[in-house]
Structure 1
Amino acid sequence: MSQLSVRSLSKSYAGRIVLDDIRLDAGPGERLGLVGENGVGKSTLLRLIAGVEHPDAGEVHLSGSLGYLSQEPDLPVGGTIAEAVDAALAEFRSLEAAMRKLEERMSAGDTDVLTEYGDLMAEYERRDGWSADARAARALAGLGLAEIPPTWALEQLSGGQRARLALALALVRAPDILVLDEPTNHLDDDALAYLETTLREHHGVVVAASHDRAFLDAVCTSILDLDPTLRVEPDGTPIIGPARYTGAYTDYLEGKAAARVRWEQAHAAWNDEMNLARAATRTTARQVGHTNRARRDNDKFQPHFFGQKVDAAVARRVRDAENRVKQLEKRKVLKPPRLLRLDTTLDQPARGGVLISAREIDVPGRISFAALDVSGDTRLLVTGPNGAGKSSLLAVLAGALEPVGGAVMHSRGLRIGWLPQAGAFPDPGISALAVYAAGRSGPPDEYRSDLSALGLLPAWQFDTPVGRLSVGQQRRLALARLLTARPQVLLLDEPTNHLSLGLVEELEEAVGVSRLPVVLVTHDRWARRRWAGDVLHLDSGVRTPSTSKARRGE
């Protein structure tokens, strides 16, 4: 039995359609992951399911209790941590109090309340009310909040602590339907492991939007991709819209690739059939005649008779061909959207020798180390806790951060592709196209086709002031700038942040197959597990790099 049912859900803002005819069902034990490009409507769908917003059309049917976690922590105004936890447990306290009253009435011989009591007990047991207090303690500990005094006011918490507390409270409530928007934000590896275990043990429905591929692979039983995909209805009508894939993220990648191939094949087949049908209306249908048939003597009616038959045949075949064209137009298979391909852009000629050499580097309070070289064959993953100096290390190597002590030397004419973690643009008022073209000869309009060819931004955003772009769009623009420089060494600081999963996969593939040396900083567990190069670990206390060889799967 479905606990969650969505039927023909549609939503638009200011005339722009965000969601159109969304349908899904989920029953107990199902954990559905939402993926898709930035702005495709993942958060909107979650808000509609949670009832925070109302659809323009369609319906949402829920069976049981619902818990919703937005990206922005929704905590009570005022109060302490302990009071917030008590509020999360209030539902169980109410259930317990109601059952006690019914028990008193049953003890007095009132049997009319047996059904009501059974319903309350079933809900209490389904949501594991017996261990609600222990669950609260586990959630606070598992999400790294156990060391914070429960008497702390909520206003004392940092942004990350508030996000983790909001997640803990959602888990404490153990609702039948758990709706989570980017629940892995602000979590370290231990907290992520706790969250994944808790969600796998959840008996109800989980619907989660996430950019964390490792999380999606560890938790989800199915993936709903809101990006357009071709599916064919039973009557043969092609529909382009969201698609659901059974299994975890690994299964989704395989299914998505297979669906793309089917879409390309279907478009090619439709295109071929349409070309033949159109040609038939122009030529084939009119290739009917009897001009080679010999005329008999005194056969005066023959030209007129056969002329009528030819005209009728031509008309019939033209009509059939035109009808075929109309049928094909009704079942048009659009061309699949262009896939981003970065490998040729990054495939620059390899340079040998030492390209970047850093010695006796000291940036007080941020990073210090004795020596580090980046050569033509360097493939280096930099790890370490927050505050260990990973971003500072890349900034020093890029020449963007001047050390107080030591020196950094770059090979002559070296083009460095540095992607900082936060790419602030100096003038938020200039257009995205002007930012892309900055430093290149000629007016920005000359580079419109170049930016379009990268596929990182839609053409309608080229003239948008960069300050009005979303964080994800700004990230794409920074990546476009990096590619324009045709770099010979890559220094990438959290390159997967704010990018869609499809773009992340393409970027990783491009970096993986290129011959460029790369130094990478990332918290992305999926990327770290697949890394096959060296690993440099920075300790927050010592700040002295130690290098080891990575093994796949670690």
Structure 2
Amino acid sequence: MQVKNLSKAYGVQSIFSQLSFTLQEGEKVGLIGPNGTGKSTLLKCITGEEMSDAGEIIVNGNTSIGFVAQQNSWQNNSLFEELLLGFEEIVADRKTLGELEQRMARSEGQPLAALMQQYAQVTERYERAGGYACEAMVKRVAKGLGFTDREFEQTVDTMSGGQKTRAALAKVLLMQPDILLLDEPTNHLDIHAVEWLEEYLSQYPKTVFLVSHDRYFLDKTVTRILELDAGRITSFHENYQGYLRRKAEFAESYRRAYQKQEQVIAKTEEFIRRYKAGVKSKQARGRETILSRMERLEKPPEQKTMRPMTLAPVPECGFYVLEVSKLAHRYGSKRLFSDLNFIITNGEKVALIGDNGTGKSTILKNLIGEILPEEGTAKFGPRVKVGYFSQGHETLDERKTVLEEIIYSFDKRKEEARSLLAAFLFRGDEVEKKIRDLSGGEKSRIALLKLLLQGANFLVLDEPTNHLDIPSKEVVEDYLSDFPGTILVVSHDRYFLDKVANRVLELDGGQIFDFMGNYSYYRFKKKESSTEISLPKGPSKESYRTPNPLKEQERSLKKMVRQIEAIEAQLEELEAEKEALGQKMSNPEVFAGGNEIKDLIQAYHDVEETMNRCYAQWEAWSLEKEELERNLLEQTEGS
């Protein structure tokens, strides 16, 4: 795909102008930039949801483009039915099989025999079309994005907004288009789902073009960064970390070049001033001509980082900040967690993580008293002053301007309020905007600034980086990293957690698991525990051998090959069993007993379900085998 000289404006406000870039086949490209620079607008121009004012987008004739539409029609289908809609023949045969099963259950004699023959024909066609493998793929993608078996049968129309967004993402992934366009795909995903999506996209054989503020995600998925800022686009053939290095190097080189040019200009102007009317006037006029023709470098932009300042004094408190004992909570019949026990001490910065729906935000609300726990207690230590950040921004007065919100909330002078707001990237006329007119990210920024100005020594934060662009996240990270008090934060932003947290509490299965370290350390310990192998009891030569990574890889590969061979053998047995059941179902004599057909159909379905699970496991193991083979080849070539 080629974008040439693309321009877009809303009224008199130019969003971007003369943008040009190319997406190569198989490239993974991340589009980044501050909020409001036109990233989502650019994607909409590519998909045709919006029209550009000038320029063109050239796509090869048969190239398919997949994207998550803003409006989706769900047709009153279950999630599983909705995700199968892209496979028309398979869906039609699946529906026919269901109808035939119902008719067979009500028939007998010759009509039943005819139905059985038709059922066998449709089943054979369904298998040839890859129906069972398709169902397995649908379930793998849906489960990867966090859906449960129970949710497969839930009508999509009855789902929450976040679930619908995940369903729409699953549909696009299952389309497997030539160009996959994704706008903030990690929104509404928990950490496990984001990690699954990272792996999926890194293995995706076609082109990916995505907008994201998730720096960890960008590092894992893309090999090229396009930065859109001030209406211009710049390309970096790196992942996010490489982009940061390259940009810092470029900024430093440009700064030195600008300073050198300014020195030359100053010296030249001084020469012209001194000798314009003297004996060297001819030389002075020559230098004046050179100066007028010189291509001036623009002044480097102001670095959008925080200003070092103390926002508010943080009062001292005792060693124990929070003690949680036997905490339990449920919603209706669903128990979220029970018998939770943990202590947070002064100076700790604790991340509370876990899958969506496990009760993380509920725990925070239990702690601050917004929701009473079903059981247990949460006790704050002496002199602890709590500051709470919620996703609803309830502390903001929608009628005030940004500047008024700080002046009147904290009795600040206008100049001081402007300085504080500038530290959180509110500059110039932006401080005169009404709170009600701010974007979600802007509201988060001012709510966080207000929280830090309260002088609390224990910050309880629920998803503080949601809706923030990367420059805003960096400001918040810097302040929270330097915060002298204690923090308990719920967040799915792993980059943020790595910079801020020094302890991780994982909520899993209604229980708390404690890890002393940042998010990367937590991941290391989790991976270590999942790959632990039992050592033989008592001393042996094997116990004392130095591990050989190459041999470990070879052993893992051999084990994976054996597992794949075993599941392939199991699939052959299941195929034979299914065929035998199909033959029985095609024999009218089998149904002389009356209800026997129902048992046969149920048995047939059970075999199909087992096959679906086996196909999904086979696919996962095959991908893992490919990864092991690739790693082994790299190690062999490198040795």
TM over 0.5: yes
1:117-516 to 2 correspondences below 5 Å: 135-145=137-147, 147-148=149-150, 152-228=154-230, 241-286=232-277, 288=278, 310=279, 313-314=280-281, 316-328=282-294, 330-341=295-306, 344-345=309-310, 351=316, 353-354=318-319, 356-358=321-323, 360=325, 365=330, 373-395=343-365, 406=377, 408-409=379-380, 411-412=382-383, 416-425=386-395, 427-441=397-411, 445-485=414-454, 487-516=456-485
Q: TM-score, normalised by structure 1?
A: 0.75
AA of the residue aligned to 1:66: S
1:342: how far off? 5.4
Cα deviation 1:70-110 (Å, max 9, x = unaligned) = 473534555554554454235999xxxxxxxxxxxxxxxxx
Name the aligned partner's letter for residue 439 of structure 1. Answer: S
Q: Quote the Cα distance in structure 1 between the aligned partners of 2:132 and 2:367.
A: 56
Counterpart in the other structure of 1:37: 34
Structure 1 position 397, deviation (Å):
5.3
Q: CA deviation at 1:361?
A: 7.9
Going from structure 1 to structure 2, the CA distance change for 1:322 and 1:392 (only over 3 Å counts) comes to farther
Give the direction of change, closer, same or farther, for the CA distance of 1:406–1:92 in structure 2 (3 Å limit): closer
**Which has the higher mean CA deviation after the structures are superposed, 365-374 or 142-151?**
365-374
Cα distance in 2 for partners of 1:165, 1:407 equals: 37
Counterpart CA distance in 2 for 1:77 and 1:503 is: 40
1:441 Cα offset (Å): 2.6
Q: Look up the match of 1:47.
A: 44
Distance in 2 (CA, whole Å) between partners of 1:325 and 1:81 is 68
Separation (CA, whole Å) in 2 of partners of 1:400 and 1:262: 52
CA contact (8 A) 1:10 1:57 kept: yes
For 1:146 and 1:407, how far apart are their aligned partners in 2? 32
Distance in structure 2 (CA, Å) of the matches to 1:435 and 1:61: 48
Give the secondary structure class of the aligned counterpart of 2:7.
Answer: strand
Could you tell me the TM-score, scaled by structure 2's length? 0.66
Contact 1:355 1:376 in 2 (8 A): yes
SS of 2:271's equivalent? Answer: helix
Contact 2:7–2:54 (CA under 8 A) maintained in structure 1: yes
Compute the RMSD of aligned alpha carbons. 3.6
Give yes or no for the alignment of 1:56 onto 2:61: no
Structure 2: runs of 5 or more not aligned = 92-129, 331-335, 524-639
Whole-Å separation in 1 of the counterparts to 2:151 and 2:258? 61
Give unmatched runs, 5+ long, in structure 1. 94-127, 229-239, 289-309
Matches of 1:132 and 1:525, distance apart in 2: 33
Write the letter of the residue equivalent to 1:550.
Answer: G
1:9 maps to which of 6, 9, 21: 6
What is the CA distance between 1:30 and its match in structure 2?
Answer: 0.4
* Residue deviations 1:126-157 (CA, integer Å, cap 9, x gap): xx999766644432343344625766543123
Q: How many correspondences in the alignment?
A: 477
| Residue 624 of structure 2: aligned partner | none
Q: Distance in 2 between matches of 1:411 and 1:276?
A: 64
SS of 1:345 mapped into structure 2: coil
Residue 220 of structure 1: how far off its partner (Å): 0.2
Compute the displacement of 1:327 (Å): 3.0
SS at match of 1:283: helix
Deviations 1:267-325 (A, max 9, x none): 32233233233333322544x4xxxxxxxxxxxxxxxxxxxxx3xx41x3343333333
Say whether the 8 Å CA contact 2:34–2:471 is kept in structure 1.
Answer: yes
Query: Which has a greater percent of helix?
Result: 2
Counterpart contact for 2:477–2:500, Cα < 8 Å = no
CA positional deviation for 1:20: 1.8
| Cα distance in 1, alignment partners of residues 368 and 272 from structure 2 | 63
**Cα distance, 1:426 vs structure 2:** 5.0
Residue pair 1:425, 1:466 contacting (<8 A) in 2 also? no
Partner-residue secondary structure (3-state), 2:233: strand
Tell whether the 8 Å contact from 1:385 to 1:540 is kept in structure 2 after alignment. no
**What does residue 548 of structure 2 align with?**
none
The alignment partner of 2:418 has SS state of helix
1:62 and 1:132, CA in 2 relative to 1: closer, same or farther beyond 3 A? farther
**Cα distance between partner residues in 2 of 1:538 and 1:5:** 46
Moved more, 252-261 or 464-473: 252-261
User: Percent identity between the aligned chains?
Assistant: 29
Give the corresponding residue for 1:300: none
